[in-house]
Structure 1
Amino acid sequence: MTNDASIRLECLKSAESWAQPTGEEVRAVLHLAGFTGGKAAKVLGLGPKGDRTIRRWVGEDTPIPYPAWALLCCYAGLGLIWKDAKEEVLAAKVPA
């Protein structure tokens, strides 16, 4: 998993140990994914006024929910942050 220097590692963890990202971190993930607010809203299924929701996350008026953050991180190429490292190790050990 790669990390843009402006995104704290604790924001790239599974839900149990996740830290809420700042508005700047949300903006950085949107940038890495190549999304405008409108495009992110469509991809996340936020509805016709979803771009307003994105602006609220970036402006820190409303916290971004973990599932939306995790999907944005996936689109940004930051990996499947919802997967616990233990799960990945176990999956690698299971014979095909």
Structure 2
Amino acid sequence: MTEANIRLECLRPAFRWQQPTGEEIREVLRLAGFTGGAAAKALGLGAKGDRTVRRWIGEETMIPYAAWALLCDFAGLGVIWKEV
């Protein structure tokens, strides 16, 4: 895990990416300074988007790569969709 407790496998381009855990999603939200509602708004998830974010954290549903990549960028973890 990185200092922020996010596995490096979760910080890769989509073709090499591994799904983050609920705790990793929670950590990225913390680093970005987002509540679930703020994350939902930043991602354009709509009126019930905060519920979607809670489902990702609770591992009821998988977070889409695009949403994860944007959250990582908001959190200052870089542009993970580009190979360096």
- TM-score scaled by structure 2? 0.96
Distance across 2 between alignment mates of 1:39 and 1:15: 24
Please give the per-residue CA displacement for 1:31-82, whole angstroms capped at 9, x wherever unaligned.
0000000000000000000000000000000000000000000000000000
- Residue in 1 that maps onto 2:23: 24
Larger gyration radius, structure 1 or structure 2? 1
- Which amino acid counterpart does residue 26 of structure 1 have in structure 2? I
The runs of at least 4 consecutive aligned structure 1 residues that moved more than 2 Å come to: none
How big is the shift at 1:8? Answer: 0.1
- Which amino acid counterpart does residue 62 of structure 1 have in structure 2? T
Distance across 2 between alignment mates of 1:29 and 1:4: 12
The reply on whether 1:7 has 2:6 as its aligned counterpart is: yes
**Unpaired segments ≥5 residues, structure 2:** none
- Which amino acid counterpart does residue 35 of structure 1 have in structure 2? F
The reply on whether 1:67 has 2:72 as its aligned counterpart is: no
**Unpaired segments ≥5 residues, structure 1:** 86-96
How big is the shift at 1:4? Answer: 3.5
How big is the shift at 1:5? Answer: 3.5
* Count of residues in correspondence between the two structures: 83
SS for the counterpart of 1:40 is helix
- Residue in 2 that maps onto 1:36: 35
Distance across 2 between alignment mates of 1:58 and 1:30: 10
Let me know the Cα RMSD of the aligned residues.
0.8
